[in-house]
A and B are shown apart, each in its own frame.
Chain A
Amino acid sequence: MNKIIRILLVEDDQLDAMDIRRSLDKLNILYKMIVAKNGEEALEVLNGNHEEHFDELPDMVLIDINMPRMNGIELLNTIRNTEEWKELKCFIITTSDEKVDKERANELGVSGYIIKPFKVNSSSLDSFNLMIDLMNMKAGSL
């Protein structure tokens, strides 16, 4: 039985979200992805207060950094400081290759830092592979 992977994507740009969805589609995996447009909306999804939400916690959270209202770093901070979420697997997917952002993300314990554009075989291959591995581990009998 193929396990459905729960992915929460926090991304304010619709086209970027579509791009990621297309890339995931090519991987032949079963997944359910909810897109939140900013950090606040992501918290609502995790809380179950959003119209779309998962029955359990997501298997992974993909977070953009530059977003309106609550940015990715603030969201990560909240997640790490909340008891029931602090073990969540989080990835940063961003256009920013600033050293400051990378360091901040590492301090907050991200599983990977991927620089857009999000493409298979791109320079973010290592992080991407790690993500796939994680999903495979979760998927177990895939």
Chain B
Amino acid sequence: MRISHLIFLSFTLILLLFTVTTYINYRQSEKVRENTEYMTMSTNMMRSANRVQRNIVHMVSGLRGFLLTGENYFLQAYDSASIENAALIKEIALILPDTSNQEALLVEIDSLNNQWINEFTGPLRDAKLNAEKSVKNEAYYDRLYKEKMYVSDESQINLVLNRKIREFISLEYESREKRQQLLSASIQETKAISFSLTILSIIAGFSVVSFLAYRISRRIAIMVRMADAIASGNFEVQTEEQGTDELSGLARSLNHMASMLSGSFNELKRKNRELDQFAHIVSHDMKTPLRGIGNVVTWIEEDHNEELTPKVEEYLGLIKGRVERGEHLIQGLLSYSRIGKEQQQLEAVNIKEIVDEVLENYNLETNMKVQLSPKLPVIYTHKVPLFHVLSNLITNAIKYNNKEQPVISVYHKEFQNHYEFFVKDNGPGISKNYHEKIFVIFQTLHAKEQVESTGVGLAIVKKILDSRNETISVESVPGVGSVFSFTWKKSVSNE
């Protein structure tokens, strides 16, 4: 599976989990809101029910007061309580949910209330109100009073009415209690579910991320190692990769690159080896005929000296000169092709000693001035190639010098992992056009007769430094002098 798909899928999964959690919590909040509404409603209803009950008491006492004293304000108390109760019961009926089992009870309360008013309190009130108007009316009232108060079951109805109202209230309490319990349970449940879902999504997210991180970073680490290996010249590296994702594609490209590089590199090595071998064989085979020519000329000079005219002698001299130069060239070519073939041992190499050894051949013959930096280092390295490099540079600095007093300086700079050495002269200098050319084999800037020069020295220096991944550069002002500088590692891995 492609990594982008995997990331997309895992994020979708996590998002899904969070959506579910949010939805559940939303549902719970709805429930709580509904419950709050219900509680408000229930409280109102109970307040009303309580008032109904209280009003009944007011009605009883109001009516009694009126019946006993005939005072109007007792009548007002009764009337207002009676009107309010009718309104209250209607109101309760309105807010009572249709599904409630209290509805029957309310209907019962309503009819009991009506019955109480219509059959007892209402007629008594009216009779008392009319009693003062005539004696007949008063007689009717007295009869009615006795009938209602002592014979009928007024007090019984009143009692039942009161009981029903209490029942209604306590039922409401119970149902409220039940709902409260259900709500708490559902809150608990919601808490548990959202907690587990949150934990689940955290775990899922964490595992997906760590899986991806491990999978990606491990493979990237492998590929980085591979790229490092390639960069350090080891092309024989491959990484196992069967997947189909982007990183597998990258790994396969790396594998392909490594094998292509390896192929090209081996081809290059083979070609270089062939070239070296070719140079070696050719120069070797050319030595014999050259020496033969030289020998014959010598024999002519030795055995037939008297027969030679001065012109012939001069020509023979020219032949010998050319033979000698040919031999030098061949020797140079052989040295050049041999670089890197000798087995080398690591040893402590004192740069000062090398410089002294090179200078030994020159010290006596001129008024040359040599300046060495006071603390030339001692390096644990291969001596022969370093000697070749320094010796060629110093020799060149002296050989091509055209000043009255040649001044040669050798100094160095130290860096963390390598040294840089400088060989400075006050010779003729080299024009910038030739700075590249001087390192190519058999290139020399001087006529061959002028200075004994084969054009191999700097080529050898360059080849040695190249083969060790060191660098060389030259700074020069024509007429003033040149500075050749090269780097040399402080420690060599012995391969």
Contacts and interface: CB of A to CB of B under 8 A. Distances in A.
B295 A19 contact: yes
B249 interface: no
B296 to A, nearest CB: 7
A117 B291 contact: yes
Given A66-B284, A95-B284, A96-B284, A116 B295 contact: no
Interface string B8-36: 00000000000000000000000000000
Interface in A1-24: 13, 15-16, 18-19, 22
A10 B348 CA distance: 45
Interface string B410-443: 0000000000000000000000000000000000
Given A99-B342, A116-B291, A15 B284 contact: no
Interface hub of A16, A19, A116 (most chain B Cβ within 10 A): A19
Interface of A: 13, 15-16, 18-19, 22, 66, 95-96, 99, 116-117
B403 interface: no
Contacts of A117: 291, 294-295
A13 B288 contact: yes
Given A15-B291, A19-B295, 14 more contacts: A13-B288, A15-B288, A15-B292, A15-B295, A16-B292, A18-B295, A18-B299, A22-B299, A66-B284, A95-B284, A99-B342, A116-B291, A117-B294, A117-B295
Contact of A16 (B284, B291, B299): B291
A22 B295 CA distance: 10
Interface in B265-300: 284-285, 287-288, 291-292, 294-296, 299
A66 B284 CA distance: 10
Contacts of B342: 99
Nearest to B283: A95
Nearest to A116: B291
A16 B294 CA distance: 11
A27 B166 CA distance: 156
14 contacts: A13-B292, A15-B288, A16-B288, A16-B291, A16-B292, A18-B295, A19-B295, A22-B299, A66-B284, A95-B287, A95-B291, A96-B284, A117-B291, A117-B295
Interface of B: 284-285, 287-288, 291-292, 294-296, 299, 342
Nearest to B296: A15
Contacts of B292: 13, 15-16
A66 B280 CA distance: 13
Contacts of B296: 15
A16 B284 CA distance: 14
Contacts of A116: 291
A94 to B, nearest CB: 10
Contacts of A95: 284, 287-288, 291
Nearest to A22: B299
Most buried by A among B288, B294, B342: B288
A136 to B, nearest CB: 26
Closest 9 A/B residue pairs (Cβ): A15-B292, A95-B287, A19-B295, A13-B288, A15-B295, A117-B291, A95-B288, A95-B284, A13-B292
A119 to B, nearest CB: 10
A18 to B, nearest CB: 7
B30 to A, nearest CB: 96
Contacts of A99: 342
A15 B284 CA distance: 16
Nearest to B338: A98
A15 B299 CA distance: 11
Contacts of A19: 295
Contacts of B291: 15-16, 95, 116-117
Nearest to A13: B288
B343 to A, nearest CB: 9
B294 to A, nearest CB: 8
Count chain A CB atoms within 10 A of each CB in B285, B292, B294, B296 and give the residue with the most: B292
A20 to B, nearest CB: 10
Interface centre among B287, B292, B295, B342 (most CB of A within 10 A): B295
Counting chain B CB atoms within 10 Å of each CB, the highest count among A15, A18, A22, A99 belongs to A15
Contacts of B287: 95
Contacts of B294: 117
A51 to B, nearest CB: 25
A101 to B, nearest CB: 11
A99 B299 CA distance: 32
A13 B285 CA distance: 11
Contacts of B288: 13, 15-16, 95
A18 B342 CA distance: 34
B262 to A, nearest CB: 29
A19 B292 CA distance: 9
Contacts of A18: 295, 299
A90 to B, nearest CB: 21
Contacts of A96: 284
Contacts of A15: 288, 291-292, 295-296
A18 B292 CA distance: 10
A116 B287 CA distance: 10
Contacts of A66: 284-285
A96 B287 CA distance: 10
A116 B330 CA distance: 14
A15 B291 CA distance: 9
